[in-house]
Amino acid sequence: MKNNALPLIAILRGVTPENILAVAEVLVEEGFSSIEVPLNSPDALTSISMLVNAYSSKYLIGAGTVTTPKLAEAVIATGANLVVTPNLNKEVVSMSVAANCQCFPGVVTPTEAFAALEYGASGIKIFPASVLGIEGFKALKSVLPTDVKCYPVGGIEPSNESMHCWLEAGAYGFGLGSALFKSEMSLQDIRKRARAYVQVYQSFTHS
């Protein structure tokens, strides 16, 4: 990720090859530089390949819901440079890092978090963030190395109330799913939501 890139990962669950490039264009125009297509989306590997061809030289492009080494292998074969998981699988992390992918495995406990770092993860996905809660995250963050990049995922809305408390507690960025993108949303609606997330994030970092 570029040094000045916004640490906001767009999670496009349900996106299709027919609309992936149009959606990505809107997100990029609004300042996003990290895009994740969950593998349980329709023909996800095709969408990822299309994004890689269009954007990977400048952006983080890849897959979410990468739960097994076999899936990781398929994602890496597209040329992706981002692997996100809901779980912690040592081999998935190791394979991804060896392929020069940024890898953010899903964790919710100190044991999982420290194991992820030991395996070489680029950072950690706090998932589900809505279950751990802000107080749970504060406790987790207090024992982690200070430079660990933590991305809460799950239930993050584009509002000061939703985002600023996590940032104040030490979150590095966010993974943003259904509140940013649903397959039935119009491009105009996606743009509006993307802009709101960027503005709320920047209002914290520029305050």
Residue 2 falls within a domain, yes or no? no
Q: What is the CATH number of the domain that holds 170?
A: 3.20.20.70
- Taking the C-alpha atoms of residue 178 and residue 100, their distance in angstroms, rounded to an integer, is 28
pLDDT of residue 176: 98
Residues annotated as part of the active site: 36, 125
For 132-190, the pLDDT digits (tens) are: 999 999 999 999 999 999 999 999 999 999 999 999 999 999 999 999 999 999 999 99
pLDDT along the chain (207 residues), means of 10: 77 98 98 98 98 93 98 98 98 98 97 98 97 97 97 97 97 98 98 98 90
pLDDT of residue 69: 98
Residue 133 falls within a domain, yes or no? yes
* Cα Rg of the chain, angstroms: 16
Number of structural domains found in the chain = 1
Residue 109 falls within a domain, yes or no? yes
pLDDT of residue 6: 95
| DSSP E strand boundaries for 13-165 | 34-38, 60-64, 82-84, 102-104, 106-107, 124-126, 150-152
Residue 1 falls within a domain, yes or no? no
Maximum CA extent, the chain: 44
Q: Which residues, other chains included, contact 27 with Cβ-Cβ below 8 Å and sequence gap of 6+? A: 10, 35, 190, 194
What pTM, to 2 d.p., does this model score? 0.96
Q: Domain of 139?
A: 8-205
Residue 3 falls within a domain, yes or no? no
